[in-house]
Structure 1
Amino acid sequence: MQVRNHRFPPDPWCLREDAPDAASHFLNETLFALGNGYIGVRGTAEEGWSGPAGTSRDGTYLNGFHESEPIHYPETAFALAKTNQFMLNVPNAKGIAIWIDDGNASSGERFDPLQGTLGTYRRSLDLRHGVLERTLTWTAPSGRSIALRSRRLVCLDNRHLLALEVEVTPLNFSGTVRFVSSLDGAVRNLEAGDDPRIGSAVSGASLQLLSAEQEGDFSALVQRTRNSGFTLVSATLTEVADRPAVQAQCRRDDLRLEQTYAIPVAQGEKAAVRKYACYHTSRDYPETELMPRSRDLLDAARAEGFDALVVRQAAYLAGFWQQADVEIDGDDLLQQGIRFNQYHLLQSVGRDGKTNISAKGVTGEGYEGHYFWDTEIYIFPFFLYNKPEIARALLEYRWAGLESARRRARQMSHAKGALYPWRTIAGEECSAYFPAGTAQYHINADIAYSIRQYLDATGDDAWLRAHGAEIVMETARIWTGIGSYDRQGRFVINEVTGPDEYTALVNNNYYTNAMAQAHLEFAAAIAARLASEFPEDHARIAQSMSLDPAEPEEWANAARLMRLPYDAELRIHEQDDSFLSKKPWDFANTPAENYPLLLNYHPMVIYRHQVCKQADVVLALLLLSSRFELDDKRRDFDYYEAVTTHDSSLSSCIFSIVAAEVGYAGKAYDYFMETARLDLDDTHGNTCHGVHTAAMAGTWLGVAYGFGGMRTDGGSLRFAPTLPAQWQGYRFRIQLRGCLLEVGVNVAGTTYRLARGDALRFTHHGRPVELTAAQPEHQEAA
């Protein structure tokens, strides 16, 4: 594995920066971002950033709050996506500028870490307490010195609220500290450039000002999106801490509202302000309630106090880590990477059933805030086995989008069924490049796969009957709509794109066909089970869908006769009907600077070659593990590893897991490390535009599915643990059927402990194990 220069000290519970650096500032804004699944605030300091152009992107984002713009095609065609949706950069509520003087306001100097002299400096993101803290000393050009401490949090138990505190102590003078607290609505989204992964085709300012309110310590902006029609209220409440009332001086400059607090201080005396901010939108509440809700929430937050919010934040995270923590013995860099990734997943995921988790979370504008299949295949398992209530909320989001998926199916000339969008926020297809977007029909099977995982893990028949069965069956209809039987009687699925986006519009993509087969089998089984066990629900759903009684047998027949390409000579599963006939990519003569290929070669050049962007067949080996023999997995891995660039951040974690299973311990570890610190070490060079949530979740998969050998396909739980040579041990936990199971592996062997629940059965390297409340622990020697 390539040795990288790790920029942060390897603290297992903290991300720490010991000096500000313009070269890494843009990236660090992402890494030090805070969020709660709804609000996301990039890690720019309260006073802003005066560094060179292109070294900062100050942003605040609301998951699901979006603008829409028409997609303009020079050459259009029927049923191409018509409208794009993009997550908005909303008003910046965290701004606090600081001015110091010796009693003469005309000699005031603004605090700027890039001017004057910076002494001590530390910024840290505490993963146990959920607080971003910065401490420093600074000397102004005049020679006046101050100590500064700031703390910030985005409340994990109140999705509308964020809070911060800034303290300044004069070290060698007495005078005045002025805090200028701002609510800045003059923000814009990043405009698209040559990289298709970044920015939006925004035609102008997306938020129009309706009104502004400012009185005393309170400020609020009321704005509306131009096209999507949502109203937003952004509001702040600022207070001077631990002092008699200091009157705010209010100022408005167009879209910017300010309150200035001038605090006289003696040398060594602390001056501090606390600020509470909130966002409410008409996506969630009637427009008339937005301002009253904002005022009430801010008043309640001030009454509770900043320190109490800090305590609540720590309590929330203590519960999260008690269930979700993955512990590594022997590698602090890796431990830091795993916990950092899990923390950002918690910060990024929507929990209300109306929002999802975007490819970049709420940390940046990459991929425009769109939701992809990343959720179901990469991210969903992490929440399913650690916080199943969040997993259910993610499925509720898909239920909420079912009608949009039905409409999309009609646009795509399917007489019945539902086709989920490849890229979306509100449910409509937003992918303007259909060969790597709409053509990825496997999104339907991915969603069905996650529903099956959820039902196997929770036994939630109530959700199956209320929502899950209808989603699974409606989406299964698409396969019999798009597929057909060839002259040999095989069921074939033509002109689709699989996970590998360097191979587009092919016949019988192996991953798509194999996942469609499992989907069709599942749909037929659900129909039979409903008819047998829940006839009233079956009748209701059948009526709602206009389900023909013959359809489930048609699904089962298509699954039975599904074409799954296989090359008998190479003894590998073919990625599609044409993949092996293509000219291999000339890797030896492709310079390193030409990766990723998508930024340096026309798509048609790439499509004509035998080259993969990411795991495709190899992903099927994981998801449908029980359908393959170990030797088949090894041969497939060997072949496809040689032609895969891993230009996608979704790739290395899957190769790590399968490498561990087939016995390639070194490769498994190298691929895993590439995943675990992908964002911390910026290995893909674009973390500045947001974290990679799928890779973050892939790190957890790498421990549980990879080294832990965990599999659940087929409804049974099984483990086949291995211990990487670089570690002394590791532990992870999973929730399943109301039980909490802890798995610990070290040089002596594996220990399974039932931490909660009555009984749990599974296998260890094929041998049955049963844990009960009376006998909650079982050990297996190495």
Structure 2
Amino acid sequence: MNLDYIIPNKWSILEEGFDPDHVKASESLFSIGNGAMGQRANFEEKYSGPTFQGSYIAGVYYPDKTKVGWWKNGYPEYFAKVLNAPSWIGINVTINGEELDLFACKSVKNFRRELNMKEGWLSRSFVATLQNDIEVEVSSKRFLSLDLDEVGAINFSIKPLNSDAEITFQPYIDAGITNEDTNWDDKFWDVLNVTRENNQAFIQAKTMKTEFHTCTFMESQVYVDGELLSNEPTFTEGTSYAAFSYTNKVKQNETYSIHKFGGYTVDRNHSKNELISAAKKSLEKAKTTGFTQMLEDQKQAWAQIWDMADITIDGDVKAQQGIRFNIFHLNQTYLGTDATLNIGPKGFTGEKYGGSTYWDTEAYCIPFYMATKDQEVARNLLTYRYNHLEKAIENAEKLGFTNGAALYPMVTMNGEESHNEWEITFEEIHRNGAIAYAIFNYYRYTGDFSYIPEMGLEVLIAIARFWHQRANYSTQKNKYVILGVTGPNEYENNVNNNWYTNYIAEWCINYAIEMIDKVKAGHPNDYKRISGKTKITHEEVSAWKKVADNMYYPYSEEHKVYLQQDGFLDKELITVEDLDQSQRPINQKWSWDRILRSPYIKQADTLQGFYFFEDQFTTEELERHFDFYEPFTVHESSLSPCVHSIQAAKLNRMNQAYTFYLRTSRLDLDDYNHEVHEGLHITSMAGTWMSIVEGFGGMRVKNDSLSFEPRIPEQWKGYSFKVNFRNQIVKVSVKQNETQFELEGDKELQIMVNGKEVTISPDNSVVI
């Protein structure tokens, strides 16, 4: 099913008309979050049709025991799963004794759902005729507060249109939930107690094995035509359930409303003995502030985010909607305030990939957060990896590496590897390179060297040790080779000498050596501490250097390109253009054996290296490699179109760059990969941002200063973005015939535009 029901709009995601076939997809697309928690856009009232219920708490996970046919040495014992948390949003609605259920209604008219990205709220409205012929107008609005990030708020209203009615609202919290994604159907939660106090209810529960303690809470107030009612609710409880019932007689055309506040307190932030008291404080703040003022505060909080992060596009509503959708979900997922959290590929929108940390964070997300937030946010992401260094060393030890070599996990929650497909877990080792590259990228962009002597150098040494041990000397080639790997292109497993992996290994070693020398010269006390801790010696570094200086790279003299890996030219080189379109996507149509024998590339692989290390290759080399590899690329990874868009823009192939941009920005909105019902592609959304700023805007850091080579698709009248570069905010506005630069800061800034030096100052815009 290709999604074509989302209505183009600059600031909102809009759905009009109720279609049960769209429900699961919409539950993903309209998801909300605030960095601390998130939820799919499930209905508040009962829904008996197909649905994927999902509420999630940041950092709370379960180690689901690995399920494989046979065990392999070094295998992770579990796959870390983000947990479907107890639900607090539910409100059963009964009208003259019949439940409101859109799947069971006689008719549903005027259905409209809106995710307002500018202001950070989700709304829904419709007119329904129940089986008992009562016609009602229903509306709801809810949000997860950015200011009170343990609390969400709902305003749910119902108006009987064709008669008076007795209506019951039954707000509830429910810990009797299961995960969609589970290996063994384990019980993930242990409910400890269900309690109430006046109109407040609390469910304390802990996760099995990981022992995260949580308290799910709620409190509600009911109104008729805006007037607060004081009638006492009845209370119902079970072993994992608590509900209040508010029943009132409502006249025809009167509006009966409930304001419900709910959310979670977690022992990540409070003592486990104080979760209920912390919940009470959060409820008191929410109730005192009130729904209306909380909504105003939400609008202000999002206005602050958008002031820095927004990208405007003039003349292309679908492109504008796409980029704001991506920026919005990135900010809903991660706000950078907690160095123990990271960015899962599905964020708070689904359970696929376990909700864990991948190399996507370092490769794609850090540039977005560096440029749109304070640099502390990006530094927190790097600190996360430093805090997991000991676990990364343990991961490498399990695979036979020694001497403090580190292999960062492909998938993790706490630093332990928790991915259990051998061709990824053991072989997709290029992820180590992304960690080192992020350290380099952070220093290059922010100018903040302090991270490296404080934390980063230890990480770089451990990674260099891994590459030194993972390479082996080939007497036949008289070079060092790296065998049995999977590169970024996961449609090739267990290959030898993947060019990207070999190249990033060499680069990591050389960068580690460069940073050792820099810290030794400029930070002798830090170097003394680090060398004492790591036992690094000159002889060891010389051994690394020998590997880096003699790395083997497969190359085709015929095509004048580096080969993705040994033997790539042995494949039957039929381009994607000549592939029967009925066979797409191949990952859903072909056997794995057939995919592995094909030349088809899931995502940028060799071209990923050309993206990272652009300065080390000429534009002619990029063009040659782009023309060779892109025709074989099926872009069945969400991480692929953005890299190709950036490179197409650099080559001034703007139609191709624009096509790739639309694909990355509307990947979920238009459901290119036919999987949006499982959740959104959060980490690739940062790549969408890069495709505009680095692709069309041509932003780079060269010679320690910002550089731009602005280009614009012919479909656009103009676009603009802001970047925070070393605490000075540069606004770039590109039109078809000129580019304007403005500066927010307190001093002049030298930038490069199309290779020429330009000075911008806080008071004067510069037009090129």
Q: Deviations over 1:503-559 (max 9, x none)?
A: 122222111122223222221121111111111111112222222244444444433
**CA separation of 1:202 and 1:426: change in aligned 2, threshold 3 A:** farther
3-state SS of 1:712 partner = strand
Q: Counterpart of 1:196?
A: none
Residue type of the alignment partner of 1:38 = A
Secondary structure of 2:248's counterpart equals: strand
The alpha-carbon distance between structure 1 residues 714 and 160, as it changes in their structure 2 partners (threshold 3 A), is: farther
Choose the corresponding residue for 2:208, options 226, 238, 255. Answer: 226
| Larger CA deviation: 538-547 vs 455-464 | 455-464
Matching residue of 2:55:
60
1:424 aligns with 2:419: no
Q: Residue in 1 aligned with 2:245?
A: 260
Q: Residue type matched to 2:206 in 1?
A: R
- Answer yes or no: is 1:276 the counterpart of 2:261: yes
* In structure 1, C-alpha distance between the alignment counterparts of 2:120 and 2:583, rounded to whole Å: 39
Whole-angstrom distance in 1 between the partners of 2:589 and 2:234: 54
Q: Distance in 1 between matches of 2:703 and 2:426?
A: 29
Query: 2:307 matched to 1:312?
Result: no
SS at match of 1:583: coil
List gaps (5 residues or longer) in structure 2: none
Aligned counterpart, 1:356: 342
Q: Which amino acid aligns with 1:564?
A: Y
1:21 aligns with 2:11: no
Residue by residue, what CA displacement relative to the aligned partner does 1:737-776 show, whole Å, maximum 9, x if unpaired? 11111111112221121123423233222122222336x4
2:479 corresponds in structure 1 to 490
Per-residue CA distance 1:203-258 (angstroms, 9 max, x = gap): 32211222111233111112222222222221112222442422110011332211
Q: CA RMSD in A?
A: 2.1
Deviation for aligned residue 1:624: 0.8
CA displacement, residues 246-284 of structure 1 (integer Å, 9 cap, x when unaligned): 211001133221100112333333222111112123344
Partner of 2:563 in structure 1? 574
Aligned to 1:544: 533
The 8 Å contact of residues 624 and 713 in structure 1, kept in 2 or not, is answered as no
- Residue in 1 that maps onto 2:467: 479
1:723 maps to which of 712, 718, 737: 712
CA deviations over 1:579-634 (Å, ceiling 9, x no partner): 22333358588554543333444434333332211110111111111111111111
1:88-108, Cα deviation, whole Å (9 max, x unpaired): 11111100111223xxxxxx2
Determine whether 1:738 maps to 2:727. yes
Change (3 A) 1:636 1:778: same
Note if 1:176 corresponds to 2:158: no
More divergent stretch after superposition (403-412 vs 486-495): 486-495
Rounded to whole Å, the distance in 2 between the matches of 1:716 and 1:409 is: 37
Q: Distance in 1 between matches of 2:376 and 2:46?
A: 37
- Find 2:284's aligned residue among 299, 306, 322: 299
Cα offset for 1:563?
2.8
CA distance in 2, matches of 1:619, 1:759: 34
**In the alignment, which of 691, 694, 715 is matched to residue 683 of structure 2?**
694
| Aligned mate of 1:413, from 391, 394, 400 | 400
| 2:111 paired residue number | 121
Contact 2:193 2:205 in 1 (8 A): yes
Report if the CA contact (8 A) 2:221-2:229 is conserved. no
User: Partner amino acid for 1:138?
Assistant: A
Shift of 1:318: 0.8
Partner residue in 2 for 1:203: 185
> Retained in 1: the 8 A contact 2:199–2:219?
yes
- The alignment status of 1:146 with 2:128, answered yes or no, reads no
Deviations 1:285-314 (Å, cap 9, x if unpaired)?
332122221222112211121122212211
Helix, strand or coil for the counterpart of 1:607?
helix
2:223 is the alignment partner of 1:237? no
- Describe the SS at the equivalent of 1:89: coil
Distance 1:606 1:144 in 2: 56
Report the Cα distance in structure 2 between the residues aligned to 1:763 and 1:354, rounded to whole angstroms: 37
Map of 1:213 onto structure 2: 195
Distance, in Å, in 2 between the alignment partners of 1:305 and 1:172 is 31
**Pairing 1:311-460 to 2, within 5 Å after superposition:** 311-349=296-334, 351=336, 352-387=338-373, 388-415=375-402, 416-460=404-448
| Correspondence for 1:195 | none
Number of aligned positions between the proteins: 760
Deviates more, 1:84-93 or 1:476-485: 476-485
Q: Does residue 606 of structure 1 match 2:595?
A: yes
Q: Separation in 2 of the partners of 1:650 and 1:669?
A: 16
* 1:350–1:356 CA contact under 8 A, matched in 2: no
Q: Distance in 2 between matches of 1:604 and 1:175?
A: 62
Structure 2 letter corresponding to 1:530: V
Rounded Cα–Cα distance in structure 1 between residues aligned with 2:750 and 2:548? 30
Structure 1 match to 2:616: 627
Give 1:362 shift: 0.7
Q: Equivalents in 2 of 1:527, 1:216: separation in Å?
A: 62
CA contact (8 A) 2:502 2:551 kept: yes
Which of 84, 95, 108 matches 2:79?
Answer: 84
Find 1:655's aligned residue among 606, 623, 644: 644
- The 3-state SS of whatever aligns with 2:701 is coil
Does the CA contact (< 8 Å) of 1:13 and 1:339 recur in 2? Answer: yes
1:186 aligns with 2:168: no
Structure 1's unaligned 5+ residue stretches are 102-107, 191-198
Separation in 1, partners of 2:108, 2:27: 19
Q: Does 1:69 align with 2:64?
A: yes
- Which letter maps to 1:75? W
> 1:99 maps to which residue?
94
CA drift of 1:41 comes to 0.9
User: Are the structure 2 counterparts of residues 75 and 170 from structure 1 closer, same or farther at C-alpha, using a change threshold of 3 Å?
Assistant: closer
